[in-house]
């Protein structure tokens, strides 16, 4: 069977739901960040697949470039916040972060 757009869409849906599961189950803040990376990757697969099979233009691939860029920026800021949080709470368990002041 020839691989078409639907195959990529189903795979992307599967990776998306696994990423949501990862975000919900991890209590380590970095685990939540890894779940977010899975979600961004599944979105990227969708954009590139539509770019190849549907539009025939480069817009999907360029948007995926921006998605990767935003993921890098988000990871840098998130890990800086986690280090600050670890300095204040001596753990990065997300369930313990119930107060705004450290």
Backbone angles phi, psi at 63, to 5 degrees: -65, -35
Considering the complex, what minimum distance in angstroms separates the CB of residue 37 from another protein?
6
C-alpha dist (Å) from residue 40 to 19, 51, 82: 9, 17, 20
Exposure of 35 in the CB half-sphere (CA atoms within 13 A)? 16
Scan residues 8-47 and list those touching another protein (CB under 8 A).
8-11, 13-22, 24-31, 33-35, 37-38, 41, 44-45
Per CB under 8 A, the list member of 87, 98, 99, 100 interacting with another protein is 87
Q: 30 or 99, CB closer to another protein? A: 30
**Angle at CA 36, nearest 5°, toward 44 and 89?**
160
* Least distance between another protein and beta carbon 55 (Å): 6
Q: How many amino acids of this chain bind another protein (CB under 8 A)?
A: 73
Binding positions for another protein, 52-81, rule CB under 8 A: 52-59, 61-62, 64-66, 68-73, 75-77, 79-81
Note whether 35 and 22 are within 8 A (CB): yes
């Amino acid at each position: 069977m020839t691989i078409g757009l639907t195959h990529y869409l189903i795979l992307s849906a599967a990776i998306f739901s696994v990423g949501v599961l990862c975000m919900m189950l991890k209590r380590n803040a970095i685990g939540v960040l890894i779940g977010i990376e899975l979600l961004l990757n599944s979105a990227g697969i969708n954009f590139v697949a539509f770019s190849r099979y549907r539009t025939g233009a480069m817009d999907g691939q360029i948007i995926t470039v921006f998605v990767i860029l935003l993921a890098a920026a988000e990871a840098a800021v998130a890990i800086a916040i986690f280090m600050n949080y670890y300095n204040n709470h001596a753990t990065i368990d997300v369930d313990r972060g119930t107060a705004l002041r450290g």
